[in-house]
A = this chain, B = another copy of it.
Amino acid sequence: MSIQYLPKSGLYASTGLNTYARLEYTKDISNATIAIIGVPWDDLATSRPGTRYGPQGIRNASSFILPNRKYNYVLDINPFEVAKIVDYGDVEVHAGYIEDMFNEVEKEVKEMLKKNSSVIPVVLGGDHSISLPVIRGLSSKYKKVAVVHVDAHHDSLDILYGKKYDHGTIFRRGVEEGVIIGESSVHYGVRVFSSKEDMESVRALGYDLLTMKIIDEEGLSKTVEQLKRKVGDQPVYLSIDIDVMDPAYAPGTGYPDPGGLTSREILEFVRKLYGLNIIGMDVVEVSPPYDVAEITSTLAASIVFEGLSIISKNLKK
């Protein structure tokens, strides 16, 4: 017996269960194109915690803003018509046990690909450490991926507080482990550095640094072109840390840094990525306890929607 998640009535956000965009909630992805999956984890938050509620916050927000605008008028596509998209639920992770989390997430992604090798996971974080096991999981199919990493921070440190594994070190680990192709990857919107050497050591991994300073000077279009040239035809993992936004647009995050992107820029940015071979995506570091009037969650839900749109549009070609 089936239960409908999208009510007929006028009280969207208050009725029914809040899956992403009120999609079907299922572990059966045999004929799905895209599967939404959450990782409610915040153990590695440097400052303010709460990203464990990120998946829930994004789902709730999507439940009241998306049902009425499933059509992406800018890209002229309704991703829900073109693609079969489902909500796969959350990976169950154990607070306080990092290794377990890494294992659980990697295992879940591999399992998804085993169920359906062409499914594209769209992950709702969680702090940024979750991206590494997702990429590891994807490597079971793609070997190596290019990363388009959109973030105020480069998260490519070697050691943070004496530890190799942290939300600030994953994009170095990924290159070292051979699952990320540094030379085809980019940090976009980055603006936090501890020193000049810090910048150089990230570039030494192969990454381009498209800093906020460069974006300010050269604009969205030109920097995205540069990004696309760098990435080329590689399979791309798109990882968006909500703290790339200016805090005015995304207060609900752990480690805000003033001087970031606006809503219009991030949405346009994702749309401009159309054409890249995106094989996985995440939106991370949304922390609902620090959100106000759900604006961060609403934005994250919209970023995911743009992601679904460009992925679906690829399918239509």
Q: Which of A92-100, A130-138, A275-283 contacts B (4 or more CB under 8 A)?
A: A92-100
Q: Tell me how many chains of this kind the complex includes.
A: 6
A163 to B93, CA, bound (A): 12
Q: Is A96 within 8 A of B293, CB to CB?
A: no
Contacts of A198 on B, CB cut-off 8 Å?
71
Q: Is B52 within 8 A of A49, CB to CB?
A: yes
Q: Is B16 within 8 A of A89, CB to CB?
A: yes
Q: Is A89 within 8 A of B162, CB to CB?
A: no
- Residue-wise interface mask of A (241-258) relative to B, using a CB-CB cutoff of 8 A (1 in contact, 0 not): 000001111011001111
Contacts of A255 on B, CB cut-off 8 Å?
64-65
Contacts of A28 on B, CB cut-off 8 Å?
1
Contacts of A50 on B, CB cut-off 8 Å?
49-50, 289
Interface residues in A56-73 (C-beta closer than 8 Å to B): 56, 64-65, 68-71, 73
Q: Is B10 within 8 A of A44, CB to CB?
A: yes
Interface residues in A1-56 (C-beta closer than 8 Å to B): 1, 3, 7-19, 25-28, 38, 40-50, 52-53, 55-56
Q: Is B19 within 8 A of A17, CB to CB?
A: yes
Q: Is B43 within 8 A of A95, CB to CB?
A: yes
A298 within 8 A of B: yes
A interface size (C-beta, 8 A): 99
**Residue ID in chain B nearest A251 by CB atoms:** B293
**Residue ID in chain B nearest A290 by CB atoms:** B293
Q: Which of A170-178, A188-196, A222-230, A231-239 contacts B (4 or more CB under 8 A)?
A: A188-196
Contacts of A8 on B, CB cut-off 8 Å?
92, 161-162
Known: A11-B46, A68-B192, A290-B293. 13 other contacts (CB 8 A): A1-B27, A1-B28, A3-B89, A13-B48, A43-B96, A46-B95, A65-B256, A73-B211, A246-B264, A248-B249, A248-B262, A251-B293, A289-B290
The 7 A-B pairs with the shortest beta carbon distances in the complex, nearest first, are: A251-B293, A14-B40, A49-B49, A9-B92, A247-B295, A69-B192, A43-B96
